Amino acid sequence: MRHVALAALLLAGCTRGDDYLARFTAAERGALPFAPITAMRPGTTMAEAYRLQHRYVAMRRRAGDRIAGYKGGLMSPASLAGRGVRAPLVGVLFAVGGADDGGTISLCGYRRAAFELKLGHRDGQVLPVIDLPDIGYRDPDHYSAVDMVAANISAARYVRGAGQPAAGRDLDALRVTLRREGETIASGIAGESLGGQAASLATVRRLAAAAGYAPRPVDLIVTGKIGDRGWLLPGRYVADYGALGRVTFAVTACAA
């Protein structure tokens, strides 16, 4: 009942935040840094931030973008403590942001591109996912959990590997490594995601439903980061997901 009530609240009509959404989307189109919602409206609540996220997602859908799935945010005890909150967050992934193994990612349109190693879950399968968020805040070192939600957790591009059956696998023991031009730049264990992969998957699904979305079995559910986040630079990348295989992609600079 609590989740139903929260979803109804988030979907309720609201004009508050129109100025934020206008500036946020204009900055996104122009690849310019933006002021977070709490800089414009210091008293913004988490419920209001999710309402703004919903309105942003609705705008994207009206423009023709399709929801491809959902991703968790702040899915480790350290991340939660760092933002001063007790519950993780959820954001929406769009189909237009997805790239497959072997693809090329352009830095055009990014403010400050980052990478995070993750796992994705879809319809009983598990797949490597390298999340490539755009940390577009005016000050990329200072923003709150409320700001993250209102900015759709900086969702931008992501690279997917091939899916494999999840049943019978010890996903929490999976070691993942990312190399750029042959140099290791990130590494970690999949069990770092909050409570392990099974619990993380359930958490993201629950959060998406509580936020008023309707996750489907075919949606890609992306759990918490594995290892440290880093900044995305031009070059050739290889992500080694052990038994799940390797994912390669290239990143190119944006020509002036």
pTM of this structure: 0.91
Region label for 196, one of left (φ > 0), alpha (ψ between -120 and 50) or beta (otherwise)? left
How many residues make up the chain in this entry? 256
pLDDT digits (tens, 9 = 90+) for 101-129: 999 999 999 999 999 999 999 999 999 99
Which DSSP symbol is given to 32? Answer: -
Q: What is the CATH number of the domain that holds 237?
A: 3.90.850.10
Residue 17 has what pLDDT?
72
pLDDT surpasses 60 at 12: no
Cβ-based burial of 53 (10 A; exposed 0-12, middle 13-18, buried ≥19)? buried
pLDDT of residue 5: 35
60-95 residue pLDDT tens: 999 999 999 999 999 999 999 999 999 999 999 999
6 pLDDT exceeds 60? no
Mean pLDDT computed over every residue of the chain: 92
Residue 9 has pLDDT above 90, yes or no: no
In terms of residue numbers, what domain contains 169? 2-252
Q: Is the pLDDT of residue 7 over 60?
A: no
Give 32's pLDDT tier (boundaries 50, 70, 90). Answer: very high
Banded model confidence at residue 256, pLDDT cuts 50, 70, 90: low
Task: Quote the Cα angle for 54-56-60, to 5°.
Answer: 115
pLDDT at 16: 54
Cβ atoms 116, 130 nearer than 8 A: yes
The first and second tokens of residue 194, run together, are: 């909050």
Q: How many domains does the chain have?
A: 1
